[in-house]
């Protein structure tokens, strides 16, 4: 499936380059234009899946361009307006002429990504197909494997999907929790409605209310995650990372089944299914006083244990076939086949990075290897590099005699450099791999004195 193409139109070069970099890191294809005229030229060359359009530009205001596109029957894609002068009147006028949403400068990273995801969901499911049913073109990847665990998981998903109960998915990082959440959403009556992911580590005590509830302040409008997921599913990724103030706020919304944007008097009904994931056992956090017992009870009507890869190694041969074919189709890499001995070698590893680690290993073997067959010697050579499964601190070149603080910093630096290499210098992919919000990740890289430019080279 090709990447969604997004056209960003803004007369400020800093805004254009920032938005382009952020969206490209998220895996989108991005084009830019600096004026109404250049936007028209770009639209003639290639139709985007989404247009981010500045309202105020020197040669032409964005709403005039929006009106012309609508009048000419060229509005075959969602439009999100960007402005530093957001008012209710401007937002209403933009939506009346076909815009699906409205964001303001200075841009919030979380808000930008949420708005883009929501707009693309609208493009995928917003128009009825024949028979009045809405089309869902974003089906999740299949659950790969034939083990008893995978079969049991598929049955659990079918059973839970038929209900509206909240679900808590517990398991190690990269063990498949997000995929399970997407399958539960796809198995239920909300399948053709939005599936919105909220990375809980992106929330702070200061921004939790605004990001969850949205805001109506001094005439400006901003929708939050609860509103964006209306009618669909809100997936709380790493819910154990929720700040205390966000836990209290979310619990209140769940109990009252309604919420209000900050600064608004209008109450909105809560119409979302909640699915949460956690890399830690929440009852232990509740006992330590680090997580709300009441919120845990609300989120865990049903609970799924997501096993690490080392606990179902019999699925590795099927996973290898799937990943090989995926890279052949998506990246046009030459086909390679894992011998039985190679498969058995991989079945005996510990896989601390779970499915993501296996997928990345397959990718490296397909890129760097030669010949149709992948055998044990090639795998051993690939695993001989730093940061491979089951490696000790000494193999990483870390001194065991350092004070704890220095040893931790040394490990974090080695770990980040290794993950950055696996992410091929892509900061968005790195953020997903290490489970950090990008703003925090940039600060962490600076504190570890990791130069992104040099690391990419």
3-state secondary structure 122-142: HHHHCCECHHHCECCCCCCCC
Q: Which residue has the tokens 């307006």?
A: 81
- Is residue 270 within 8 A of residue 254, CB to CB? The reply is yes
What are the residues facing 147 on neighbouring strands?
none
Mean pLDDT of 101-114: 77
pLDDT the model gives residue 455: 55
- Is residue 173 within 8 A of residue 435, CB to CB? The reply is yes
Distance in angstroms (rounded) separating the CA atoms of residues 104 and 134: 30
Q: Which residue has the tokens 């769940």?
A: 254
- Is residue 195 within 8 A of residue 154, CB to CB? The reply is no
Please determine, for residue 339, whether its predicted confidence score (pLDDT) is greater than 90.
yes
Phi, psi of 59 (to 5 degrees): -90, -25
Please determine, for residue 105, whether its predicted confidence score (pLDDT) is greater than 50.
yes
Distance in angstroms (rounded) separating the CA atoms of residues 31 and 23: 10
Distance in angstroms (rounded) separating the CA atoms of residues 350 and 89: 58
- Is residue 187 within 8 A of residue 161, CB to CB? The reply is yes
User: How many residues make up the chain in this entry?
Assistant: 457
Please determine, for residue 392, whether its predicted confidence score (pLDDT) is greater than 80.
no
pLDDT the model gives residue 1: 43
pLDDT the model gives residue 248: 98
pLDDT bracket for residue 151 (50, 70, 90): very high
Tell me which H or E stretch contains 451: none
pLDDT the model gives residue 25: 79
Mean pLDDT of 23-52: 92
pLDDT bracket for residue 191 (50, 70, 90): very high
pLDDT bracket for residue 137 (50, 70, 90): very low
In angstroms, how far apart are the furthest CA atoms of the chain? 72
Beta pairing class for 273-278 and 233-237: parallel
The answer to which of 6-10, 108-112, 181-185, 352-356 has the lowest mean pLDDT is 108-112
Mean pLDDT of 392-412: 61
- Top pLDDT among 30 and 396 is at 30
- Is residue 239 within 8 A of residue 286, CB to CB? The reply is no
Share of the chain above pLDDT 70, in %: 85
Mean pLDDT of 232-236: 96
pLDDT bracket for residue 129 (50, 70, 90): very low
Mean pLDDT of 255-266: 94
Mean pLDDT of 162-187: 95
Question: Do 5-127 and 161-306 fold alike per CATH?
Answer: yes
- Top pLDDT among 53 and 331 is at 53
pLDDT the model gives residue 395: 45
Q: Which residues of 195-210 are buried (b: 16+ CB within 10 A; e: fewer)?
A: bbbbbbbbbeeebbbb
For residue 428, count other CB atoms closer than 10 A to its CB: 19
Distance in angstroms (rounded) separating the CA atoms of residues 123 and 103: 18
Helices within 196-292 (DSSP H only): 208-213, 225-228, 244-256, 282-288
CATH topology of domain 310-383: Helicase, Ruva Protein; domain 3 (1.10.8)
- Each residue of 415-436: pLDDT tens digit? 888 888 777 777 777 888 887 7
Mean pLDDT of 99-125: 78
Please determine, for residue 407, whether its predicted confidence score (pLDDT) is greater than 80.
no
pLDDT the model gives residue 394: 46
Instruction: Tell the CATH superfamily of the 5-127 domain.
Output: Response regulator (3.40.50.2300)
Mean pLDDT of 122-145: 54
pLDDT bracket for residue 259 (50, 70, 90): very high
Please state whether the peptide bond connecting residue 259 to the residue before it is cis, i.e. omega within 30 degrees of 0: no
Mean pLDDT of 319-329: 93
Distance in angstroms (rounded) separating the CA atoms of residues 237 and 223: 19
Q: Which residue has the tokens 């608004």?
A: 264
- Is residue 12 within 8 A of residue 56, CB to CB? The reply is no
For the chain, what is the mean pLDDT?
Answer: 84
Mean pLDDT of 149-176: 95
pLDDT bracket for residue 283 (50, 70, 90): very high
For residue 370, count other CB atoms closer than 10 A to its CB: 7
pLDDT the model gives residue 130: 27
Q: Which residue has the tokens 């005439």?
A: 219
pLDDT bracket for residue 401 (50, 70, 90): low
Closest by CA position to 124, among listed 50, 181, 182 = 50
- Is residue 170 within 8 A of residue 277, CB to CB? The reply is yes
Distance in angstroms (rounded) separating the CA atoms of residues 357 and 368: 16
SS3 per-residue string spanning 167-184:
EEEEECCCCCHHHHHHHH
pLDDT the model gives residue 456: 53
For residue 244, count other CB atoms closer than 10 A to its CB: 13
- Which CATH number does 404-456 carry? 1.10.10
Mean pLDDT of 241-255: 97
Dihedral over Cα of 247, 259, 195, 23: its sign = negative
- CATH 3.40.50.300 correct for 161-306: yes
The domain segmentation of the chain, as residue ranges, is 5-127, 161-306, 310-383, 404-456
Mean pLDDT of 48-60: 90
Distance in angstroms (rounded) separating the CA atoms of residues 29 and 408: 37
Helices within 76-135 (DSSP H only): 88-96, 109-125
Alpha carbon of 58 to those of 11, 69, 84, 95, 219: distances in Å?
8, 19, 14, 22, 24
């Amino acid at each position: 499936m090709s990447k969604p193409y997004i056209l960003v139109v803004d007369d400020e070069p800093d805004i254009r380059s920032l938005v382009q970099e952020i969206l490209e890191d998220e895996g989108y294809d991005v084009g830019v234009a600096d004026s109404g005229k250049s936007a028209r030229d770009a639209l003639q060359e290639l139709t985007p899946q989404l247009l981010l359009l500045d309202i105020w530009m020197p040669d032409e205001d964005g709403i005039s361009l929006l009106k012309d596109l609508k009048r000419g029957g060229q509005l075959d894609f969602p439009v999100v307006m960007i402005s530093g002068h957001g008012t209710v009147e401007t937002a209403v006028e933009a939506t009346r002429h076909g815009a699906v949403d409205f964001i303001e400068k200075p841009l919030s990273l979380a808000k930008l990504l949420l708005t883009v995801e929501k707009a693309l969901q609208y493009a995928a499911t917003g128009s009825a197909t024949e028979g009045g049913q809405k089309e869902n073109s974003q089906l999740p990847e299949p659950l790969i494997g034939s083990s008893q665990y995978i079969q049991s998981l598929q049955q659990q998903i079918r059973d839970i999907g038929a209900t509206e109960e909240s679900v808590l998915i517990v398991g190690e990082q990269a063990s498949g929790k997000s995929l399970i959440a997407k399958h539960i959403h796809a198995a239920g009556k909300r399948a053709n409605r939005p599936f919105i992911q909220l990375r809980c580590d992106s929330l702070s005590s200061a921004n939790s209310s605004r990001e969850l509830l949205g805001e109506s302040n001094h005439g400006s409008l901003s929708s939050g995650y609860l509103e964006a997921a209306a009618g669909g599913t809100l997936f709380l990724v790493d819910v154990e990372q929720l700040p205390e103030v966000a836990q209290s706020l979310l619990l209140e919304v769940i109990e009252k089944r309604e919420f209000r944007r900050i600064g608004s008097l209008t109450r909105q009904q809560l119409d979302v299914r909640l699915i949460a994931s956690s890399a830690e056992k929440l009852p232990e956090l509740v006992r330590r006083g680090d997580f709300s017992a009441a919120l845990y009870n609300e989120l865990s009507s049903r609970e799924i244990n997501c096993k690490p890869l080392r606990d179902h190694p019999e699925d590795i041969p099927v996973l290898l076939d799937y990943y090989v074919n995926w890279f052949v189709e998506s990246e046009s890499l030459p086909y390679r086949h894992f011998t039985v001995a190679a498969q058995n070698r991989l079945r005996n590893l510990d896989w601390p990075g779970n499915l993501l680690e296996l997928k990345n290993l397959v990718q490296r073997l397909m890129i760097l290897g030669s010949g149709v067959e992948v055998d044990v010697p090639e795998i051993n050579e690939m695993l001989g590099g730093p940061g491979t499964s089951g490696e000790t601190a000494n193999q990483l070149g870390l001194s065991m005699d350092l004070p704890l603080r220095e040893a931790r910093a040394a490990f974090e630096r080695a770990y980040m450099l290794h993950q950055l290499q696996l992410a091929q210098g892509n900061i968005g992919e790195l953020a997903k791999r290490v489970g950090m919000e990008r703003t925090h990740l940039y600060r962490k890289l600076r504190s570890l004195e990791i130069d992104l430019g040099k690391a990419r080279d």
